């Protein structure tokens, strides 16, 4: 009963604000949310959105799942991966990849699948990313196309046109089979005097961006972070789709789990090259 009364109050607040600001629906939502506690905001959001989960995949002593959150009308809001708390325990002593299917119920088909790559000793370059960490990839190509990317592929060296590259990103040499070429953020802490805890990679192949990759260290996750980091955007986008303006790394006590997500999804039409 108390919860119903609280939602009635929220709806009343919403009606009052709408009467004052009917010309700006986004301002209405923002003003409502600023007056709510975190629990209230989460409860209200659950009334206006829905989250669909893919199947669970064993990782460590726990599980990982990919998911899509969308508005009731099907507009995507976030795409993410959740790791249960125990997934950080008893991880293999070698590099391992866990492939995650995105849910079929979701209306958005821009993101096709995700992978969680565990790197117990990190990877190159030495002194930068050689800490135990997870690489979490969100792909927009099919699994079959990804698996067809072989070693030493000359398409690794074909770069997207500059207008599709976000500012201060640089492609590293070569590429990784069944993955692609990697573009690093030159303004990230690990390149500006700090150390690597979390960073954001763009991935390309044959002149197109095909994945986005938050990288997070295991130690950073164990601090139970709650961060949302703004992403620099390119001047244009190669294909129609829902692009992240931020990425989120967070921990939830109930249930105990870690989330890494592409958030603030915005639709952009693809820009054809002359």
| pLDDT at residue 42 in the model | 52
The answer to whether 245 and 79 are in contact (CB under 8 A) is no
What value does the mean pLDDT take over residues 63-74? 95
pLDDT for the residue numbered 182: 97
Residue with more model confidence, 49 or 108? 49
Ranges 19-23, 128-132, 176-180, 209-213: which has the least confidence: 19-23
Residue 14 has pLDDT above 80, yes or no: no
Q: Give the 3-state DSSP-derived string for the chain, with helices as H, strands as E and coil as C.
A: CHHHHHHHHHHHHHHHHHHHCCCCHHHHHHHHHHCCCHHHHHHHHHHHEEEEECCCEEECCEEEEEEEEEECCCCEEEEEEEEEHHHHCCCCCCCEEEEEECCCCCCCCCCCEEEEEEECCCCCCCCCCCCCEEEEEEECCCHHHHHCCCCCCHHHHCCCCHHHCCCCEEECCCCECCCEEEEEECCCHHHCCCCCCEEEEEEEECCEEEEEEEEEEHHHHHCCCEEEEECCCCCCCCCCEEECCEEEEEEECCCCEEEEEEECCEEECCCCCC
Q: Which of 18-22, 229-233, 234-238 has the lowest mean pLDDT?
A: 18-22
Q: What does the mean pLDDT of the chain come to?
A: 87
- pLDDT of 21 over the 90 cut: no
- In tens, the pLDDT along 69-114 reads 999 988 999 999 999 999 999 999 999 999 999 998 766 789 999 9
Q: What pLDDT is stored for residue 133 in this prediction?
A: 98
Backbone CA torsion sign across 14, 15, 17, 18: positive
Assess contact for 247 and 171: CB atoms under 8 A.
Answer: no
What's the pLDDT score for residue 47?
A: 67
11: pLDDT strictly greater than 60: no
- pTM score, whole prediction: 0.83
Show Cβ contacts of residue 65 under 8 Å, excluding neighbours closer than 6 positions: 53, 54, 55, 56, 57, 81, 82, 100
CB 198 within 8 A of CB 220: yes
Q: Residue 4 — φ and ψ, nearest 5°? A: -65, -40
In the chain, where are the structural domains located? 2-36, 50-268
pLDDT of residue 249: 98
| Residue range 183-208, pLDDT digits in tens | 999 999 999 999 999 999 999 999 99
Is the pLDDT at 26 greater than 60? The verdict is no
Structure confidence at residue 81 (pLDDT): 98
**Which residues, listed in sequence order, are joined to residue 25 by a DSSP beta bridge?**
none
Q: In angstroms, rounded to a whole number, what is the distance separating the alpha carbons of residues 47 and 262?
A: 21
pLDDT at 19 over 50: no
* pLDDT reading at 253 higher than 90: yes
d(CA 264, CA 228): 10
Question: Tell me, what's the pLDDT at 46?
Answer: 55
Confidence (pLDDT) at 48? 80
Cβ count within 10 A of residue 30 = 12
């Amino acid at each position: 009963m108390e919860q119903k009364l609280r939602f009635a109050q929220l709806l009343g607040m919403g009606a009052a604000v709408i009467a004052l600001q009917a010309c700006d629906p986004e301002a209405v939502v923002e003003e409502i949310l600023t007056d709510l506690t975190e629990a209230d905001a989460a409860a209200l959001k659950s009334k206006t959105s829905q989250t669909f989960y893919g199947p669970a995949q064993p990782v460590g002593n726990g599980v990982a799942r990919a998911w899509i959150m969308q508005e009731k009308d099907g507009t995507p809001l976030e795409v993410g991966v959740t790791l249960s708390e125990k997934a950080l325990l008893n991880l293999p002593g070698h590099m391992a990849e866990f492939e995650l299917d995105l849910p079929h119920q979701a209306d958005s088909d821009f993101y096709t699948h995700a992978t969680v790559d565990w790197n117990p000793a990190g990877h190159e370059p030495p002194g930068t990313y050689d800490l135990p960490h997870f690489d979490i990839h969100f792909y927009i190509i099919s699994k079959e196309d990804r698996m067809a990317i072989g070693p030493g592929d000359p398409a690794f060296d074909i770069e997207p046109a500059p207008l599709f590259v976000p500012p201060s990103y640089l492609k590293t040499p070569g590429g990784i089979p069944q993955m692609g070429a990697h573009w690093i953020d030159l303004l990230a802490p690990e390149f500006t005097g700090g150390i690597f805890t979390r960073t954001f990679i763009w991935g390309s192949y044959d002149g197109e961006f095909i994945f986005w990759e938050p990288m997070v260290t295991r130690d950073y996750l164990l601090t139970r972070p709650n961060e949302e980091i703004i992403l620099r955007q390119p001047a244009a986008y190669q294909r129609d789709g829902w692009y992240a303006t931020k990425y989120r790394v967070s921990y939830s006590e109930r249930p105990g789990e870690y989330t890494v997500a592409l958030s603030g999804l915005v639709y952009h039409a693809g820009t054809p090259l002359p």
